[in-house]
């Protein structure tokens, strides 16, 4: 008789269940997008007014990334911004009517020019322009504006003035749904209502126009 028949069969142990970590809930897309949608005009601080032309997905390192595709027609540029990064880059919706009115009122005020070197002030103007703040941009337009009775601006002044004017007029154009030419006319009308500054004293510097601390 075969002895193997008398041996008890060794019971097989059931395989241990594999523990799988529960997937982390993804942030709802609606939350990531923060109310932004296709065809909407927005303000991107370093580029000004653009339009969301599409929302697309890309796979990066195995993860799906949702992106806003933003077109800046005047600059002939397209930018792709992850929907989860819009807060950190400062992207915002167009200004409300009250903010546009505040910006136009700012243009009517007296220029505030610090008694500092032009290079320092140029940096401050540039920071204001790229802040995306419509009132701060209006301040740059106001401070660098020159009436016909005043000497012409230097090349660097003119560059900053035109950049600020472009950013401001494009947003007013988008908010009021008018052309940029019409928006510039609104800006110039507001500037014309401000205190007139006479020509600079002979031999004087542009910093002598007004001391901000005064």
Over residues 153-201, the pLDDT tens digits come to 899 999 999 999 999 999 999 999 999 999 999 999 999 998 865 444 3
Rg (CA), the chain: 30
pLDDT the model gives residue 63: 84
> Which domains can be identified in the chain, with CATH numbers?
29-93 (2.40.10.170), 97-196+204-208 (1.20.58.1290)
Helix axes 155-176, 134-144, angle to 10 degrees: 140
Q: Counting beta carbons within 10 angstroms of the beta carbon of residue 79, is it exposed (0 to 12), middle (13 to 18) or buried (19 or more)?
A: middle
CA distances from 165 to 24, 48, 130, 134, 153 (A): 47, 11, 13, 11, 14
Nearest Cα neighbor of 69 from 60, 84, 82, 59 is: 82
Nearest Cα neighbor of 106 from 129, 147, 135 is: 135
With cut-offs at 50, 70 and 90, classify the pLDDT of residue 7.
low
- Percentage of the residues of the chain whose pLDDT score is greater than 90: 61
Diameter over CA atoms, the chain: 127
Q: Please determine, for residue 100, whether its predicted confidence score (pLDDT) is greater than 70.
A: yes
Q: What pTM did the predictor assign?
A: 0.76
Which 3 state secondary structure label does DSSP give 121? Answer: helix
* Distance separating alpha carbons of residues 90 and 208, to the nearest angstrom: 35
Q: Please determine, for residue 1, whether its predicted confidence score (pLDDT) is greater than 60.
A: no
With cut-offs at 50, 70 and 90, classify the pLDDT of residue 33.
confident
Range scoring the smallest mean pLDDT among 66-80, 82-96, 187-201: 187-201
Residue 84 near residue 131, CB atoms below 8 Å: no
Mean per-residue pLDDT of the chain: 83
Q: Please determine, for residue 211, whether its predicted confidence score (pLDDT) is greater than 80.
A: no
Q: What is the pLDDT of residues 107-160, one digit of tens each?
A: 999 998 888 899 999 999 999 999 999 999 999 999 999 877 777 889 999 999
Residue 156 near residue 125, CB atoms below 8 Å: no
The label of the residue with tokens 């006319």 reads 185
Q: Please determine, for residue 91, whether its predicted confidence score (pLDDT) is greater than 60.
A: yes
């Amino acid at each position: 008789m075969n002895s193997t028949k008398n041996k008890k069969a060794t019971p097989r142990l059931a395989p241990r269940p594999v523990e799988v970590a529960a997937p982390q809930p993804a942030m709802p897309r609606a939350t990531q997008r923060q109310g932004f949608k296709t065809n909407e005009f927005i303000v991107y601080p370093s580029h000004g007014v653009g339009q969301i032309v599409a929302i697309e997905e890309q796979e990066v390192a195995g993860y799906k990334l949702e992106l806003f595709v933003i077109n800046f027609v005047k600059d002939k540029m397209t930018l792709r911004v992850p929907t989860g990064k819009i807060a950190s880059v400062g992207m915002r919706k167009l200004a409300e009517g009250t903010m546009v009115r505040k910006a136009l009122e700012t243009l009517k005020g007296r220029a505030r020019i610090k008694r500092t070197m032009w290079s320092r002030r140029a940096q401050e103007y540039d920071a204001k322009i790229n802040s995306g703040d419509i009132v701060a941009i209006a301040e740059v337009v106001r401070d660098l504006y020159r009436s016909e009775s005043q000497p012409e601006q230097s090349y660097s002044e003119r560059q900053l003035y035109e950049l600020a004017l472009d950013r401001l007029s494009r947003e007013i154009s988008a908010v009021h749904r008018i052309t940029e030419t019409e928006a510039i006319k609104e800006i110039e009308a507001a500037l014309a209502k401000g205190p007139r500054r006479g020509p600079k004293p002979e031999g004087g510097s542009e910093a002598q126009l007004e001391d901000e601390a005064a």
